[in-house]
Amino acid sequence: MKALNTIIFYENREEVENYITELNSIADGMVEICLVVNSDKSNQVKAMEASLRAKGITCLRVIDYGDNVGYLNTMLKTIKRVSIATYDYVILSNTDIHYDTEDFFQQLAEKEYPSDVGCIAPCVYASKSNSYSNPHYMERVPKAKFERLTVIFRYPLLGKMYLKLGEMKAGKTRTEKKQSCFVYSPHGSYMIFTKDFIKKIYGYEYGVKMYSEESAVGELLVKNKMRCYYDDSLSVIHEESSVTGKINYKRRFAAWRESIEFILKEFY
């Protein structure tokens, strides 16, 4: 099994370096990493590369598109830059991720999924809210809910209240690990795409930089007659939003609203 893991550098050297080091220690040569530089104002990437090489880590490739291309587009652009023929899976993940077990990739290598599975969603445990983020959306989000959210995120205070209530609800209702099942979409912090799905979406670009990626992936799966499978035997721990947390709420909610408006226009 061979996988390509695309990740982002956004002024977060320590987090990225720790993630790459941890992944390299358990991947047993099965994973190559493509780091997309979205922001490096302090010029830390080259120093980080040197530090990783000194540790004997050579699985890293760095790409700088000259601009912040966002989250989902880091993967969508990168698959046009590298040959995916040698990879069984393409992973898009945050870097505030820890692997729950050391045999994560060995388990993935041994899996056999139905031919129409285009995305695998591992169990994602959110450490701060003490809850499970997957299964994410079991079914397609109703248009009316998205329309309500565009109003909510127009007002930062209302948006903060909505997110806080969501965290409280998750802390009460998502404390038990769910069994494997088919779902509408994966949680965006860690998504594993099959080669067949990657081939079908080759050339597609997401219309915004961040947020609502889960719905975009869910819609692209449906459009291409493929499915998402939540696999509870694959597990990661998510430290939750260390990069987006650097962006103030007003900008974050504006980006969130923009992403929802894009989803509505593109798919609804």
Tell me: the pLDDT tens digits for 61-117?
A: 999 999 999 999 999 999 999 988 999 999 999 999 999 999 999 999 999 999 999
| Confidence grade of residue 250 (pLDDT, cut at 50, 70, 90) | confident
Asked if 80 and 202 count as a contact pair (C-beta separation under 8 A), the reply is yes
* Distance of alpha carbon 122 from alpha carbon 180, whole angstroms: 9
Confidence of residue 162 (pLDDT cuts 50, 70, 90): confident
Q: Is the peptide bond before 135 cis (omega within 30 degrees of 0)?
A: yes
Which 3 state secondary structure label does DSSP give 145? helix
- Which tokens go with 153? 């995120």
Which residues partner with 63 through β-bridges?
36
Residue 155's pLDDT is what? Answer: 86
Domain boundaries, the chain: 3-267
What are 182-230's pLDDT values in tens digits?
Answer: 999 999 999 999 999 999 999 999 999 999 999 999 999 999 999 999 9
Residue 252 pLDDT level (bands cut at 50, 70, 90): confident
pTM comes to 0.95
- What is the C-alpha to C-alpha distance for residues 199 and 42, in angstroms, rounded to an integer? 36
DSSP letter, residue 185: B
CA–CA gap between residue 141 and residue 3 (Å, rounded): 30
Residue 118 pLDDT more than 60?
Answer: yes
Instruction: Give SS3 for 98.
Output: strand
Residue 40 predicted with pLDDT over 80: yes
Q: Where are the beta strands (DSSP E) in the chain?
A: 3-10, 31-39, 60-63, 89-93, 97-99, 117-126, 131-132, 181-183, 190-194, 227-238
Those residues with Cβ within 8 angstroms of residue 243's Cβ, 6 or more apart along the chain or in another chain = 8, 10, 12, 15, 94, 95, 96
Identify the pLDDT of residue 245: 57
DSSP annotation of 268 reads -
Is pLDDT above 70 for 36?
A: yes
Q: Which CATH architecture has domain 3-267?
A: Alpha-Beta Complex (3.90)
Q: What percent of the chain has pLDDT over 90?
A: 84
C-alpha 3: how far from its chain's center? 15
Cα angle 177, 174, 116 (rounded to 5 degrees) comes to: 60
* 58's tokens: 């050579």
End-to-end Cα, the chain, rounded Å? 37
Q: What percent of the chain has pLDDT over 70?
A: 97
Mean pLDDT value of segment 226-253: 84
What are the C-alpha distances in Å from 264 to residues 67, 142, 173, 239, 259?
26, 10, 28, 29, 9
* Closest to 119 in 3D by CA, of 72, 83, 57, 161: 72
CB 161 within 8 A of CB 122: no
